[in-house]
Amino acid sequence: MKRRHLVFISALIFALTFSVFAQTTQPTPPPNNAEDDEVIKIDSRLVVVPVSVLDRNGQPVLGLKAQDFRVLEENKAQEIAQVSDADKVPLEIALLFDISATTNPMFEFEQEIAAKFLQEVMRSDDRATIFTVGERPVIVQARDSAEKSAIAIKTIQPTKQFTAFFDTVSAASDYLQKNSPTGRRKVIIVISDGEDTNSDRIRQAIDNGYRKLGEKINTLDSKKLYEFTRANRDAANDKELNRVMQTLQNTDAVFYSINPAGNSFQLNKVSIKGQNNLQKFADETGGTAFLPKILPINLKDNSQNSQNKRTNQELLVKIFRQLANELQAQYLVQYYSNADFPQNKYVKLNVGLANPRNFRVRARQGYFVKN
């Protein structure tokens, strides 16, 4: 009896051992679940589009929602992820003052009205940075409150320096990109005629042209030398226009300008080129290039000068009021693009309203892909 019992126990131990061994060395494969094995990867870019909406009277249209906007990217409709109201998004302003001789006549009043503008349009959490447009970019006031920035504006003195317009716009754009917290509206406001005589690449292009001429430069009369210099400057201007445009677009900055030269910008090709620079930056980023009809205040008739000065002041006040309206009507429209565009491709945008009515919409016309 004991022997049978011993044999039975030995057989049971052997069976259990074999069973464990078999499960260890030959595991049962898990079921093949295709959904678990498949990895879905979606690459998308967040595209931020500042959009201003004004009514027929130039007043801000407030309270719009995501469903009120439409966005076409390369003619393809996009699904809007979020729309933020202007009063809920802090504002970053870079204000650029041209201090060259061409902007002198109304300079003091421009300072006064610009300082007042900042104090009226900026809230406690908004920030402004003040630059001068002279022979090189200079930060007069790093990003700070409206009160401190207004004080800084009034300290600016006009000079007869050359003008590094492109370098200053580029420096302001870079500054906003590096120093502005995320999720803020970025705006560059320029008081200038847009002419450039001293940006690094402009000067280099002119110098390179002279070097290529070599001794032939001595055979040119003043007219031909001027035409040669202007041709080099114009070619460099076009290249700088495109380069700085990409910088503005990459910063998501909206460009506004006020040309204090008024109608005199039509007097020569250089001035026309300058106004075209301002208009191009504004159009592409969704801003406005204001061109006031500034009247002369250096006539022999002092009475007429006084009247023209008052007219000019009223006009500038109106422009800054319009600028304030546009900033108050500015939304941040955001969407995710999953289109497979190559690096640095310029992607065209068309932004509008689902029900446009008589509203005026200003928005950037495109962006450069940053993968």
d(CA 52, CA 359): 10
Residue 5 is assigned to a structural domain of this protein: no
Token reading at 10: 């030995």
Q: What three-state secondary structure class fits 366?
A: strand
Question: Residue 220: how many CB atoms within 10 A of its CB?
Answer: 14
- Domains contained in the chain, number: 1
Residue 321 is assigned to a structural domain of this protein: yes
> Residue 189: is its pLDDT beyond 90?
yes
Over residues 173-187, mean pLDDT? 94
Cα–Cα nearest to 179, from 245, 251, 111, 236: 251
CATH code for the domain of 199 = 3.40.50.410
User: What pLDDT is recorded for position 6?
Assistant: 41
User: What pLDDT is recorded for position 263?
Assistant: 65
Q: Which has the minimum average pLDDT: 85-89, 95-99, 290-294?
A: 85-89
Q: 13-60 pLDDT, tens per residue?
A: 444 343 333 333 344 444 444 444 443 334 678 999 999 999 999 899
Whether residue 205 contacts residue 235, with contact meaning beta carbons closer than 8 Å, is answered with yes
Cα–Cα nearest to 349, from 61, 48, 42: 48
Question: Residue 57: how many CB atoms within 10 A of its CB?
Answer: 7
Sequence-distant (≥ 6) Cβ neighbours of residue 276 within 8 angstroms: 194
Residue 27 is assigned to a structural domain of this protein: no
pLDDT band at 107 (very low <50, low <70, confident <90, very high): confident
CA distances from 123 to 51, 127, 137, 311, 342 (A): 20, 8, 27, 30, 39
Residue 200 is assigned to a structural domain of this protein: yes
Q: What average pLDDT is seen over the chain?
A: 85
Sequence-distant (≥ 6) Cβ neighbours of residue 368 within 8 angstroms: 246, 249, 250, 344, 345, 346, 347
d(CA 248, CA 168): 12
Residue 9 is assigned to a structural domain of this protein: no
User: What pLDDT is recorded for position 102?
Assistant: 55
Residue 37 is assigned to a structural domain of this protein: no
Q: 201-252 pLDDT, tens per residue?
A: 998 988 888 888 887 777 888 888 878 888 888 888 999 999 999 999 999 9
Quote the domain boundaries for residue 287.
45-368
Residue 7 is assigned to a structural domain of this protein: no
> Residue 322: is its pLDDT beyond 90?
yes
Residue 131 is assigned to a structural domain of this protein: yes
